[in-house]
């Protein structure tokens, strides 16, 4: 079983958990292209930081539903539009 792990900061973790954030963004860099393009996963695990192995409260396990490539403006990436992988989180 292939699993993609994505560590998140508290705000984004809680937004995904509570259904307010349908996608998690990763900038379309060579690192993320290699990790995502042409890959298939069974699950995606969103973690609040880097939890201990037995800390299940800080993990969200979801089925892998893919991603799309898009251009966004987001404060995390600065004032310019950037190309991102929008990974489905719901």
SS3 of residue 10 by DSSP: helix
Please list, residue by residue across 22-46, b when 16 or more beta carbons sit within 10 angstroms of its beta carbon and e when fewer do.
Answer: ebbbbebeeebeeebeeeebeebeb
CA distance 68 to 89: 12
Helix (H) / strand (E) element for 41: namely none
Predicted local confidence at residue 90, as pLDDT: 87
pLDDT tens, residue by residue, 8-39: 999 999 999 999 999 999 999 999 999 999 99
CATH fold for domain 3-88: 2.30.130
Average pLDDT over residues 46-66: 96
Task: Give, rounded to a whole angstrom, the gap between the first and last alpha carbons of the chain.
Answer: 20
Q: Determine the distance from the C-alpha atom of residue 49 to the mean position of all C-alpha atoms in its chain, rounded to a whole number.
A: 12
Instruction: Please state, rounded to an integer, the average pLDDT across all residues of the chain.
Output: 96
The full set of domain ranges for the chain reads: 3-88
Binned at pLDDT 50, 70 and 90, residue 77 comes out as confident
């Amino acid at each position: 079983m292939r699993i993609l792990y994505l560590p998140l900061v508290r705000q984004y973790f809680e937004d995904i958990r509570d259904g307010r954030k349908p996608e998690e963004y990763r900038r379309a860099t060579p690192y993320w292209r290699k990790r995502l393009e042409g890959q298939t996963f069974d699950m995606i695990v969103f973690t609040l930081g880097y939890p201990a192995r037995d800390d299940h409260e800080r993990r969200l396990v979801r089925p892998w539903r893919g991603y799309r490539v898009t251009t966004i403006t987001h404060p995390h990436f600065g004032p310019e539009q950037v190309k991102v992988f929008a990974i489905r989180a719901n």
